[in-house]
Amino acid sequence: MDKQHPAVWRAMNGLGLKVKEAATEVGFTRALIELINVRISQINGCAFCLDMHVKDAIKQGVGVQQLAVLPAWREAELFTDKERAVLALAECITGLPHPAVREHEEAFARRYLSDEEFSVAAWLAVTINAFNRVSITSHHPVKADKA
pLDDT at res. 146: 87
pLDDT of amino acid 90: 98
Q: Does the pLDDT of residue 147 top 90, yes or no?
A: no
Q: List domains and CATH numbers for the chain.
A: 6-133 (1.20.1290.10)
pLDDT of residue 35: 97
| Cβ contacts of 47 within 8 Å, gap of 6 or more | 142
Query: How many CA within 13 A on the CB side of residue 73?
Result: 24
Give the containing element (helix H, strand E) for 98.
none
Number of neighbours of residue 124 by Cβ within 10 angstroms:
26
Q: What is the mean pLDDT of the chain?
A: 96
Instruction: Quote the CA–CA distance of 38 and 26 in Å, as a whole number.
Output: 20
In this structure, what is the dihedral angle of CA atoms 36, 145, 78, 91, given to the nearest 10 degrees? Answer: 30
Q: Tell me the pLDDT tens digit for each residue of 61-76.
A: 999 999 999 999 999 9
Verdict on whether the full-model pTM lies above 0.85: yes
pLDDT tens digits for 11-24? 999 999 999 999 99
Identify the CA nearest to 126 among candidates 20, 54, 5, 26. 20
Q: Which of 84, 91, 73 is nearest to 112 (CA)?
A: 84
